[in-house]
Amino acid sequence: MEQLNTAGASGPNLISRLKQATSKLQTIATTLVHAKPESQAHPETHSSDAAEVASSAPQAVLVTNIKEVDEYAKRLNEAVSEFQAVCQQLEDPALLEMAQLVQELTDNQAKLIQAAAQTQKPAIPEFQKMLARIQASLESISNLKNSNRRSKLFNNFSAISEGVAAYGWVAIEKTPMGYITDMKESSQFYTNRVLKEFRESNPIQVEFVKKFLHIIEQLFLYVKMYHTTGLKFGYSRPLLTSDQAIEFINSSPENAHNVANNSSNSAGGPPPPPPPPPPPVFDDAPMNSDTSSSKPMTGGINALFSEINQGEGITKNLKKVDKNAPKPPPTSSQPLEPKPIGKYKNSLSTPSLPPKKELNGKRWAIENFVNEEISLEITDITQTVYIYNCTGCTISISNKLNNLSIDKCSKSGIIFDAVVSSCDLINSQSIKLQPNLAIPLINIDKSNGVQLFLNDSNKDSIEILTAKSSEINVCYTDHTSEDAYDYREFFVPEQMKTTVVDGKLITTVLEHNG
């Protein structure tokens, strides 16, 4: 009874205290609604707290193991290791250095494939940053080749430089396998020269050709298995941001499996939980009876229910849309997809180099000229001429030479007297060739828009070999015309017909009447 009386005596005090607590809670709730969020009022405090939470969060490994990267490493690392062993047997320090650059290129591409697997397809500027390491490796290989032009193994250097361009498949959409095949055939132009020179005398050189082409073949098989329509993005979790992917690609090997984070929002562990929301405020004001008003009520949950209760009148203020109106252009926040211009336009470009005209031993090199007229006099019949990367030039070569090679030139004309062995044209566009005297053979490989001007001294004895080329026209003087400078023009057929006869394939050229 005594305890009951005590409780009854304290009842009024307890009720009074509950009323005071309720009043304080209502005051705090009203203050939170009308005041600025605490994170804005005290940014220093919250940023420091978030930093403490982020630093205390466990650093997780964001890069996961995926079968695509494991398969790439299994195929390519083994092939490159065998290739390095063969280069070491050739005992050329520069060639061994180039083999090491091929290994570096392979490692950089493995990291790119890993980063792409955990990144949504980026915009063009971010993707160019992701390709920077691969492009730097390709430039290093090209520069090393150009610095060893006097080497007796220059064909080996050229074969590697042409072949490793196949690693640029990551920048090719829809047809990466066709691109790799083209780069392999470009490399075979030089590997065939290596075989022709060393097949009988140096079996290590034969092994060099096999091992290097094996690298490109393994690359082709890998792309065929996992990336038939181009490099795949965003199929592995957790996803990384573009900045994290770029940082991972540029990271050192010992840090390759951890992505450093510079902000609290991108910490390795899970982000800290957000602060609790402010308590809800219940408006006790009566609901407006005028539900047809076009102006929505302000304040809390009553405004929401007021708009819902309008019924059909809720749609009367919506803007009518004309179906025939043109669609607005994409905003700057919507990244545009890359649009390749021409075949393999997205492939990695080679660096520009200064023009050069010099004689190394018995080899003339004419390189990197633009819109120039160049004259060259041959003083020894054993000299050769190599013309590389010239655009819009007219090149005149006087006297007889041993061999003429034209590589990666465009919109240029070459006039020469006579050649002992052959004239080779490869990877060129819009070229005019004019031999003035005898020439036994002209090889045209992977070139388009070639015009060949012949005369009576060479048109009956010349042989023209073409491969993967188009728009090849042969012109020579028309003796039936009154004009001595009137030329007749014939095009080299490009269409072939293949039939099966007695179990064998018979291929013939479709005849065209010129």
Q: What's the pLDDT score for residue 23? A: 66
Pick 115 or 264 by higher pLDDT: 115
CA gap 409, 340 in Å, rounded: 22
Strand, coil or helix: 422: strand
Residue where a domain stops, chosen among 212, 237, 252: 252
- Please determine, for residue 294, whether its predicted confidence score (pLDDT) is greater than 50: no
Q: What's the pLDDT score for residue 3? A: 43
Residue where a domain stops, chosen among 214, 233, 252: 252
Residue 493 lies inside a defined structural domain of this protein: yes
Average pLDDT estimate for 333-354: 49
Residue 99 lies inside a defined structural domain of this protein: yes
Residue where a domain stops, chosen among 194, 221, 252: 252
Q: What's the pLDDT score for residue 80? A: 95
Q: What's the pLDDT score for residue 345? A: 44
Using N-to-C axis directions, what is the helix angle for 93-117 and 67-89, rounded to 10°? 180
pLDDT band at 13 (very low <50, low <70, confident <90, very high): low
CA gap 448, 469 in Å, rounded: 6
Amino acid letter, 262: N
Between the alpha carbon of residue 482 and those of residues 63, 131, 257, the distances in Å are 77, 60, 78
Residue 287 lies inside a defined structural domain of this protein: no
Could you tell me if 214 and 80 lie in one domain? yes
Share of the chain above pLDDT 70, in %: 66
Could you tell me if 103 and 233 lie in one domain? yes
**CATH number of 456's domain:** 2.160.20.70
- Please determine, for residue 9, whether its predicted confidence score (pLDDT) is greater than 70: no
Q: What's the pLDDT score for residue 334? A: 45
Asked if 454 and 478 touch (Cβ cutoff 8 Å), the reply is no
Q: What's the pLDDT score for residue 253? A: 56
Radius of gyration of the chain (CA): 37
Residue 48 lies inside a defined structural domain of this protein: no
- Please determine, for residue 495, whether its predicted confidence score (pLDDT) is greater than 60: yes
CA gap 503, 404 in Å, rounded: 41
Residues near 36 by beta carbon (within 8 Å), at least 6 away in sequence: none
**CATH number of 220's domain:** 1.25.40.330
pLDDT in tens, 171-219: 998 889 999 999 999 999 999 999 999 988 999 999 999 999 999 999 9
Among the listed residues 398, 395, 361, the one whose alpha carbon sits nearest the alpha carbon of residue 379: 398
- The verdict on pTM exceeding 0.75 is no
Residue 264 lies inside a defined structural domain of this protein: no
Residue 39 lies inside a defined structural domain of this protein: no
231-240, 430-439, 482-491, range with the lowest pLDDT: 482-491
Helix ranges restricted to H, 259-416? 300-308
Here the tokens at position 109 are 């591409």
Between the alpha carbon of residue 205 and those of residues 149, 185, 209, the distances in Å are 18, 18, 6
pLDDT in tens, 433-479: 999 988 999 999 999 999 999 988 888 888 999 988 888 999 987 77
Q: What's the pLDDT score for residue 251? A: 80
305-314, 409-418, 464-473, range with the lowest pLDDT: 305-314
Asked if 216 and 184 touch (Cβ cutoff 8 Å), the reply is yes
> What are residue 431's phi and psi, to 5 degrees?
-115, 140
165-174, 315-324, 371-380, range with the lowest pLDDT: 315-324
CA gap 221, 499 in Å, rounded: 30
Residue 91 lies inside a defined structural domain of this protein: yes
Q: What's the pLDDT score for residue 354? A: 86
30-39, 52-61, 135-144, 414-423, range with the lowest pLDDT: 52-61
Could you tell me if 234 and 363 lie in one domain? no
Pick 255 or 230 by higher pLDDT: 230
Residues near 25 by beta carbon (within 8 Å), at least 6 away in sequence: none
CA gap 435, 403 in Å, rounded: 12
pLDDT band at 314 (very low <50, low <70, confident <90, very high): low
Residue 175 lies inside a defined structural domain of this protein: yes
Q: Which domain holds residue 190?
A: 62-252
The secondary element (H helix, E strand) that includes residue 248 is helix 242-249
Could you tell me if 361 and 491 lie in one domain? yes
- Please determine, for residue 59, whether its predicted confidence score (pLDDT) is greater than 80: no
pLDDT band at 291 (very low <50, low <70, confident <90, very high): very low
Count structural domains, the chain: 2
Tell me the HSE value of 108 on the side-chain side, using a 13 A CA sphere: 22
